[in-house]
Amino acid sequence: MNDDRQRYAMHAAVFAALANPTRHELMHHLCEEPRTGSELAELLGVSRPNVSQHLALLQREGLVKRSRQDGRVLWEVVDPRLSEACALIDEILGHELAQRARILVHER
């Protein structure tokens, strides 16, 4: 039972990290390909220090890692299966959002 509680606590920490829209968007961009902090800041339209804080939290939760390549610091997801999870979330929510939009159109 204790192992289950630890597992659920870890899950909750990851979900809490991804509950922030900026961090969630960062993850989606990193699921596409490794990127620098500056590239991420530009994509999101936020400051570089803001991106750094979010990346640090995602790193603490074990979702992203950084590496050096050609003198640049690149950020990437730790496990390629996270890209599959991002795609699945998009697929599920995309379908749900389309269905909600159809309902709103019919209610008018």
CA dihedral for 50, 31, 101, 19, sign (positive or negative): negative
Tens-binned pLDDT, residue by residue, of the chain (108 aa): 588 899 899 888 888 888 899 998 999 899 999 999 999 999 999 999 999 999 999 999 999 999 999 999 999 999 888 888 878 888 888 777 777 767 777 776
Residue labelled with tokens 């998009």: 90
- Top-tier CATH class for 2-107: mainly alpha
pLDDT at position 50? 97
Give the whole-angstrom CA distance, residue 46 versus residue 17: 18
Q: What is the pLDDT of residue 1?
A: 59
